[in-house]
Chain A
Amino acid sequence: MQTNRRNTNKWYSSKYWLIALVSMASLTATAAVKVDKAAPNFQLTNSQGEQVSLADFSGKYVVLEWTNHQCPYVKKHYDSDNMQALQRKYTDQDVVWLSIISSAPGKQGHVSPDKAEQLSKSRNAAPSHILFDESGEIGKLYGAKTTPHMYIVDQQGTLRYAGAIDSIKSANPADIAKATNYVDASMASLAKGETIAKKLTPPYGCSIKYKS
């Protein structure tokens, strides 16, 4: 009887960890967006100082790209012109491309609007808008973990892809040619009305430098 009581106490203490764990898990579960569910709307300021919201682009495909120009994994895709080529390819097809910077002020990748414009010009980038998410609120709403982290929202506002830019997790530009580009593959499937083969992949890259 005595042993039982002791055991009960033991579980009693460990139990609270579990409760904390379950509640944390449910928080993250509700916070992270779900593929094939409505993409939550947001409003952010762009590099021109204008307010841009996801709902403005209803009826168009929208690609979200979390970025940080100092991150080696972002550099891998910009120095090789891989990311800019995708931006040009899809913005030409009337797809809206939103590059989002969630780096907090003082942290890696945080830039002024002017600097952002300048970076776009120097790198020959072609996003529809560069958006600033200094508070990290939208990044966390979307569960963005790394730079790059890619999302595709369809014309109906449904999230159709979330994850890595491509299939090879490395900082080596030589791997780009060998990898399957998930944004390209997903957009192609969507255009053909097919189901996306990999609609949720683990992103790779640098951790997003959130405020906290």
Chain B
Amino acid sequence: MTTAIVRVISLLLLLSFCTVAAGNQHSASGPHIRVSLLSEHQSLVVGQQQWLGIRLSPELEWHTYWRNAGDSGEAPNVSWQTNADINFGEIQWPLPEQIPVAHLVNYGYSGDILLMVPITLNSIDTLNATTENATTARISAELSWLVCKEDCIPGWATLTIELPISVTNHTSVDAGLFQQTRKRLPAPQKLNGKYEITEQFLTLSVEPPHSANWQLMPLRADLVQHNQKQQWLADNNSNSANVLLAKSDYFSVVDEPLEFLMTDGNNGYYLTAHYNQSPSVTNSAYKPPIWLLLAFAFIGGLILNIMPCVLPVLSLKAMALAHHANNEHDSNRSLSHWGYLLGILASFWLFAGLILVLKSGGNAIGWGFHLQEPAVIAALAFLFVFIALMLWDIAPSGAGFANLGNKLTEGVGFSSQFFTGVLAVIVASPCTAPFMATALGVAMVSPALDTLLIFTALALGFALPLSLLSLSPQFAKALPKPGPWMETFKQFIAFPMLATVVWLVWVFLGQTNSLAQLILLCGLLLFTLLIWFAHKSRGKKSLIALILAVITAIYISVSANNKVNENATNQQLPSARAKQNSQPYDPTLLSELRNQQQVVIVNMTADWCITCKVNEHVAFKDPQLNQLLQQSDVHYLVGDWTNKNNTILQYLNQYQRSGVPLYVVYAGSKSARILPQILTPEIVINAIKQAQQELNHANK
């Protein structure tokens, strides 16, 4: 009750004082505060910058506020009036302190403060015209303030001083106060910084002029949670520091520059932080015009023709055409010409359609996704061995199958042309998977129509050389004349085929284990033996051998997929053998590891990304986490998004992100969990352990 009475009295005081202060006073007092208007000099000189100051002297334990008051409170406000032609500058705010009040934090001054304002008297013309005493300028400050302890009391006053105009100026009695205050002002030097926005934090990168216990005070009230501790992390490689600030509940910044005062209590610098525009994140930057993409896809298609696994097939075809170049009596010629092109188009469209379906289903896929299945790898190995055998004329001669291969690929009829096209696409895929990933990465993240167009352009480019040969007699006639050299050449190109098999078997090992690889190699040997037998024998025997060969191929291929699941957890991967703490991100590696039911953590980062660096400092340097990352079933993949990279872009897009950081923890093929953008070691450790548990449960 007594406090209430005190407050009523203070209110009455306040009201009475307001009227008193309206006079010609240069100072006034309100409850718990005295305010005054001071000049550094005794007089004004035309054209010279001089200083006025508003002095706020609160009682002990009471405080006033900085330009941003923080969670509550209000900065003093001044508006100037004068009869002279004077320009008033901005208030020079001395370095504030952080004042905790209950659960809030304010920025302000707990003692005497002088708010200095630069003024310039432009001329004395108006004074001559309006006043009798032309040599005196009258300046009034309409001041409002808030003075607080826990409770706050607002006040208003009009403070007035009169200053004579002269040609020389002498310092006033208050000049010392101005000198002292100058030492409390932020340095004139302005700093620049960068900032990023995450879910809960504002991350800033600044370069402090020297190391100190710096704090950032935003000039805006709605930026950060003033009562949260600021986390400063020095960057070992440079002088810069990264700062984590908890976002305000009222945060509404998009990308405008943000202003802060950086202070350690004794020194201060104004800092402008600009939005960290990552060089390759904007939509326009990574999306070239569609015609350019199509042109690249077309050229890419052309290049596919000379890939080691495609060239042999096409060479065969070209030779077949050379054989028939002079054959004018081919009845189906006009239609069959288009067969090859249609075969390729149909295959590519099928691929595009499949990708669109899978994409809409939200699956993580890429060109060559079918190669992630060991069964497909094994089947391709069998196919390539078969082609090599055909090239050596060890083709089965059994009933009906005698010249199937030759008929299909070497013939000139529509179906054989079509089949050649389909076969070309299939055999091309192992070579193109790594080669075309970049161009197709764009197709993956483009709208459906664009994807279809890109695939079409690719198909057209791929089909062009051979279509020209078959469509135009001129081109066909340009081919070398048939002769014995063709046989030699045909036998030679079996070797690139077998080279592809070697590569496939190696990839297969990466996906499965050495036992599965041994079984595959034995299967290939048996397959070759059976084909050879089918070639040597006649009639029924040949057919049986061929059927056995096909069964071998199918059985070995299909059972390869089971090998993966059976042996996934305790096998040695090529990647695991050479395991370091982290490996560069590679989509194929990721899907292999996931298929093998490993725990994978993917870290998408960039050199220019402040948030990423903060996390690498805080989380990824943790010894406990590093121990965990060393475990044989945990794999840490780091993607570097510093420069443009479509592979990573594609990955980011899968998670509806257009930039870094992005952290994902996979429990094999079972689940993927996106981690927050600001990490602690515990967040990562828990996510990894959870993924391990999930996999353990699944195995039991």
Which residues of A line the B interface, CB within 8 A?
Answer: 7-8, 11-12, 14-15, 17-22, 24-26, 28-29, 32, 70-73, 108, 143, 145-146, 163, 169-172, 200-202, 204-207, 209-210, 212
Of the residues A14, A32, A207, contact of B101 by C-beta under 8 Å: A207
Q: How far is the CB of B179 from chain A (nearest CB, A)?
A: 32
Given A21-B244, A207-B101 in contact, is the A145-B71 Cβ separation under 8 Å? yes
In the complex, identify which listed stretch (B246-254, B274-282, B350-358) lies at the interface while the others stay far away.
B246-254
Q: In the bound complex, do residue A25 and residue B201 qualify as a contact, i.e. CB atoms below 8 Å apart?
A: yes
Interface hits, B220-263 → A, CB 8 Å:
221-222, 225, 228-229, 231-233, 236, 244, 246, 248-250, 252
B233 adjacent to A14 (CB under 8 Å): yes
26 A-B pairs (CB sep. < 8 Å): A11-B621, A14-B231, A14-B233, A15-B622, A17-B231, A18-B680, A21-B229, A21-B244, A22-B678, A25-B201, A25-B225, A70-B7, A70-B151, A71-B152, A72-B152, A143-B249, A145-B71, A170-B144, A171-B154, A172-B154, A200-B252, A206-B72, A206-B152, A207-B71, A207-B101, A207-B150
Chain A nearest CB from B681 CB (Å) reads 7
Inter-chain contact A108/B146, CB cutoff 8 Å: no
B200, CB-defined interface residue at 8 Å: yes
Q: Is B74 on the interface with A (CB-CB < 8 A)?
A: yes
Determine the chain A residues whose CB is within 8 A of the CB of B221 once the complex forms.
202
Instruction: Determine the chain B residues whose CB is within 8 A of the CB of A206 once the complex forms.
Output: 72, 151-152
Q: A7 to B233: give the CA distance in the assembly, Å.
A: 11
A8 to B621, CA, bound (A): 7
Q: A28-B249, A72-B152, A172-B144 are in contact. List 13 more A-B contacts (CB 8 A).
A: A12-B622, A18-B231, A21-B244, A73-B154, A108-B7, A145-B72, A169-B74, A171-B154, A200-B249, A201-B250, A204-B74, A206-B152, A207-B71
Shortest beta-carbon contacts, A-B, top 5: A171-B154, A207-B72, A202-B250, A202-B222, A25-B246
Q: Which residue of B lies closest to A169 (CB)?
A: B74
Complex Cα distance A6/B501, Å?
Answer: 51
CA A146 – CA B102 in complex, angstroms?
12
Q: Enumerate chain A residues within 8 angstroms of B246, measured Cβ to Cβ.
A: 21, 24-25, 28
* In the complex, chain B residues whose CB is within 8 Å of the CB of A14: 231-233, 618
Query: Which of chain A's residues have a CB closer than 8 A to the CB of B71?
Result: 145, 207
Q: Is the CB of B153 within 8 A of A72?
A: yes
Complex interface: chain A residues within 8 A of B362 (CB): none
Q: How far is the CA of A78 from the CA of B146 in the complex (A)?
A: 18
* B74 close to A146 (CB less than 8 A): no
Counting contact residues on chain B (CB < 8 A from A), the size range is 35 or more
State the CA gap A15–B619 with chains docked (Å).
Answer: 8
Q: Which of A25, A70, A73, A205 contacts B228 (CB 8 A)?
A: A25
Let me know if B102 and A15 touch, CB within 8 A: no
In chain B, what residue has the closest Cβ to A146?
B72
Say yes or no: A202 contacts B248, CB within 8 Å.
yes
Question: How many angstroms between the C-alpha atoms of A53 and B646 in the bound complex?
Answer: 55
Q: For A170, what are the chain B residues with a Cβ–Cβ distance below 8 Å?
A: 74, 77, 144
Chain A CB within 8 A of B623 CB: yes
Q: How far is the CA of A15 from the CA of B244 in the complex (A)?
A: 12
A17–B244 Cα gap in the complex (Å)? 11
Q: How far is the CB of A8 from the nearest CB of chain B, in Å?
A: 6
CB distance from A143 to the nearest CB of B (A): 6
- B250 adjacent to A8 (CB under 8 Å): no
Q: Is the CB of A15 within 8 A of B618?
A: yes
A-B contact count (CB 8 A): 109
Q: Is B399 an interface position by the 8 A CB rule?
A: no
Known contacts A7-B236, A21-B244; is A210 also within 8 Å of B146 by CB?
Answer: no
Write the chain A residue with the least CB distance to B252: A200
In the docked arrangement, what's the CA distance between A58 and B236, Å? 57
- B residues in contact with A212, CB < 8 Å: 102-103
- CB neighbours of B41 from chain A (8 A): none
Q: Decide: A163 and B231 in contact? CB cutoff 8 A.
A: no
* Residues of A contacting B618 in the complex (Cβ-Cβ under 8 angstroms): 11, 14-15, 18
Give complex CA distance A73, B151 in Å: 11
In the assembly, what is the distance between CA of A155 and CA of B42, in Å?
A: 65
Q: Is B682 an interface residue (CB 8 A)?
A: yes
Q: Which residue of A lies closest to B223 (CB)?
A: A202
- Measured in the bound complex, the distance between the Cα atoms of B231 and A28 in whole Å is 17
Instruction: List chain B residues, Cβ under 8 A from A73.
Output: 154
Is residue B156 within 8 Å, beta carbon to beta carbon, of the partner chain?
Answer: yes
Q: Contact: A172 with B617, CB < 8 Å?
A: no
Digit string of B205-232 for contact with A (CB within 8 Å is 1, else 0)?
0000000000000000110010011011
Q: Is the CB of B623 within 8 A of A8?
A: yes
Closest to A200 in B: B250
User: Which residues from B are CB-within-8-Å of A205?
Assistant: 72
Q: Report A104 CB to chain B, min CB distance, Å.
A: 10
Docked pose: A146 CA to B244 CA in angstroms: 26
B104 touches A145 (CB 8 A): yes
**A172 B156 Cβ-Cβ under 8 A:** yes
Chain A residues whose C-beta falls within 8 Å of the C-beta of B233 in the assembled complex: 11, 14
B231 touches A32 (CB 8 A): no
Report Cα–Cα, A21/B232, bound state, in Å: 12
Chain A residue nearest to B680 in the complex (CB): A19
In whole Å, how far is B622's beta carbon from the nearest beta carbon of chain A? 7
Chain A, residue nearest B221 (CB): A202
In B537-588, which residues have CB < 8 Å from any A CB? none
Task: Kindly state the separation between the CA atoms of A14 and B252 in the bound complex, as whole angstroms.
Answer: 29
Given the known interface contacts A25-B246, A145-B72, the answer about A171 and B621 at a Cβ–Cβ threshold of 8 Å is no
Looking at the assembled complex, report how far the CB atom of A74 sits from the nearest CB atom of chain B, in whole angstroms: 11
Interface string of B1-24 (1 = CB under 8 A from A): 001100100000000000000000
Chain A residues contacting B229 (CB-CB under 8 Å) are 17, 20-21, 24
CB distance from B181 to the nearest CB of A (A): 25
Nearest CB of chain B from residue A17's CB, rounded to whole Å: 6
Q: With A70-B7, A170-B77 given, is the CB distance from A25 to B200 under 8 Å?
A: yes
Task: Give min CB distance, A134 to chain B, whole Å.
Answer: 15
Q: Do A163 and B621 contact each other (CB < 8 Å), given the known contacts A18-B680, A171-B74?
A: no
Measured between beta carbons, the chain B residues less than 8 angstroms from A143 are 249
| Distance A11 CA – B613 CA, assembled complex (angstroms) | 13
Q: Which residues of A contact B680 (CB under 8 A)?
A: 15, 18-19, 22
Q: Closest residue to A201 on the B side, CB-wise?
A: B250
Closest to A20 in B: B229
Which of the residues B104, B146, B682 comes within 8 Å of A171, measured between beta carbons?
Answer: B146
Instruction: For the complex formed, measure the closest distance between the CB of A106 and the CB atoms of chain B, giving whole angstroms.
Output: 9
CA distance A32 to B156 in the complex (A): 35
Cα-based distance from A207 to B65 in the complex (angstroms): 14
Most B C-beta atoms less than 10 A away, residue of A15, A205, A210: A15
Closest to B72 in A: A207
Contacts of B244 in A (CB 8 A): 18, 21
- Residues of A close to B201: CB separation below 8 A: 25
A32 touches B249 (CB 8 A): yes
